[in-house]
Chains A and B, each alone.
Chain A
Amino acid sequence: MIDIFKPETLDILLNTTTFSNGDELSFNLGVSSNMNRTGAHSGALDPSNGMFWSWQSGYINFKIEGISPSCLTRKNKFQFHIGGYQAPHNTLRRITFILNKQTTQLSINLDGFFEDTKLALENQIMVPGAKANELATKFLNTLTIIE
């Protein structure tokens, strides 16, 4: 589980593996539907981590929360809790990069998410559904490989 405010969670070093040109790095962003259906899990998936909905079972795959003057909400807050594992709105995303260098870093640049999001209109998505699915796809724009 990655938490931007906990630097230690940002370093997931894969230095035990050696890469060669053209290798693929792939991972899932979010929790598989099987793990969403099979009860209480431990570790990063422990429901006490605050990444699990209680009234409608399911993991929150990612959360983005903050304040923006364009949000006409209480304390100008915006909250995106994106999750949902049931078709057609499964928000899990498989991410794949082709690697060209030995040392690479994965960067998350949130501009990619906010670029065409109108916070004045869209500032609270906290349930699974079509909107959440759309934002899960939009989140992919934030990920790039720095070589």
Chain B
Amino acid sequence: MSKTIKFSLCSVLIILCSSFLVLKNKTLIFDYPEYWPKPHYDFSKLSMSENEFQLGRQLFYDPILSKDQSISCASCHLQATGFTHVDHDLSHGIEGRIGRRNSMALMNLAWNTSFMWDGGVNHIELQALAPISSKNEMDSSLKEVVDKLNTSRKYKSLFYNSYQDSLVTGQKTLLALTQFIVMLNSYNSKYDKFIRNEDIDIFTQQEKNGLIIFKKNCASCHTEPLFTNNEFHNNGLKLDPYIKDYGRMQITNNPEDSLKFKVPTLRNIQFTPPYMHDGRFETLKAVITHYSSGISHSTTLSERLKNNLDLTHKEKVDLLVFLRTLTDTDFLFNNRFSYPYIN
């Protein structure tokens, strides 16, 4: 892959290399295309070791994180669907309790400047706390999880392999989960291959038209190459009177943030329905209809969406076809990210 730069952490390595125990550790390479911006995340607390990655992967797929050992991160974040949950509009937690929001797709998280639909979580390392302690999700606490892990021989040894210390702490648990989720990078879609000129003929005329329509109407928020500008906007969804979710305003207490939500990435969008924070749209066709003629006007509606887009039928189809080029099967079927069958 000629257009990909390799990025790894050397300062951590120096310490690790002095001990031969960890020579077995393959150092992780954090890959991304060279024309992408630098990641927002500062990797300095991670060891970037294969062992820490595998520990994080075990934790991500292990229901031990929930109160009654029934739900893992993967219950709501499935790899084949871009690490989100596709059957439900609102996510389901332990005992079938229903949350208030649609699960989010997980990818390219090192570039996120905040997390969750309302940006309430300010750092990737802290994200896991939210589902672990939410009543409707895993209904546990980090303390409870740490206590459980400290009685598990399997985890004591995995923590020892990662940190040369078998004592499980809250910080290490969060860092290991981060080491796994931060590696979930997607940059090999058809769109990426087109942008990198890897195959001149890869895009059909229809897909090229779709890209032009996208750049004109959507890219100001869903900005390339990550397909998000990390901002919060009101994109014209009517308030659901039952859920009454005001989004960003719940975090900032600022009425100007009412009904604003984080602009989500559109990578792998074909595989991540339903769409929006409450999963109100089942199909991409419904999303495009929303933007072209269904915008609900309220005081905080984004300027960019004040005028109906009024796309023709053909333009809508072209746009839809373009959105499908953001699917990255290398990512969706990468064995390194799948359920870990070991022991």
Contact = CB atoms under 8 A, between A and B. Distances in A.
Interface stretch (B124-132, B218-226, B231-239, B296-304): B124-132
A5 interface: no
Chief secondary structure at chain A's binding surface: loop
A37 B42 CA distance: 12
B120 interface: yes
A84 B145 CA distance: 25
Contacts of A50: 141, 143
A103 interface: no
Contact of A48 (B125, B143, B175, B253): B143
Contacts of A41: 171
Most buried by A among B42, B116, B121: B121
A60 B79 CA distance: 35
Interface in B115-140: 116, 120-126, 129-130, 132-134
B174 interface: yes
Most buried by B among A36, A54, A55, A56: A54
A46 interface: yes
A48 B142 contact: yes
A47 B122 contact: no
Interface string B168-181: 01110111001000
Contacts of A48: 141-143, 145-146, 169-171, 173
Nearest to B132: A54
B45 interface: yes
A68 to B, nearest CB: 26
Contacts of A37: 122-123
Nearest to B169: A46
B5 interface: no
A40 B123 CA distance: 8
B174 to A, nearest CB: 4
Interface residues of B, number: 29
A129 B121 CA distance: 16
Contact of B174 (A36, A40, A55): A40
A3 B260 CA distance: 39
Nearest to B145: A48
A47 B123 contact: no
Contacts of A47: 126, 129, 142, 170-171, 174
A46 B116 CA distance: 22
A38 B122 CA distance: 8
A22 B171 CA distance: 40
B142 A57 contact: no
Contacts of A54: 126, 129-130, 132-134
B121 A40 contact: no
- What band does the interface of chain A fall in when counting residues whose beta carbon is under 8 Å from B? 10 to 19
A100 B12 CA distance: 47
Contacts of B142: 47-48
B114 to A, nearest CB: 9
Chief secondary structure at chain B's binding surface: helix
A48 B142 CA distance: 5
B170 A40 contact: yes
B125 A55 contact: no
B19 to A, nearest CB: 20
Contacts of A105: none
A9 interface: no
Contacts of A42: 169, 171
Interface string A21-39: 0000000000000001111
A40 B134 contact: no
A37 to B, nearest CB: 6
Contact of B170 (A46, A55, A58, A129): A46
A25 B169 CA distance: 32
A52 B120 CA distance: 13
20 contacts: A37-B123, A38-B42, A39-B45, A40-B125, A40-B170, A42-B171, A46-B171, A47-B142, A47-B174, A48-B141, A48-B170, A48-B171, A54-B126, A54-B129, A54-B130, A54-B132, A54-B134, A55-B120, A55-B134, A57-B126
Given A50-B141, A56-B251, A129-B253, 14 more contacts: A37-B123, A39-B124, A39-B178, A40-B125, A40-B126, A40-B174, A42-B169, A47-B129, A48-B142, A48-B173, A50-B143, A52-B129, A54-B126, A55-B120
Interface of B: 42, 45, 116, 120-126, 129-130, 132-134, 141-143, 145-146, 169-171, 173-175, 178, 251, 253
Across the A-B interface, the 6 shortest Cβ-Cβ residue pairs: A48-B170, A39-B125, A54-B129, A40-B125, A40-B174, A48-B142
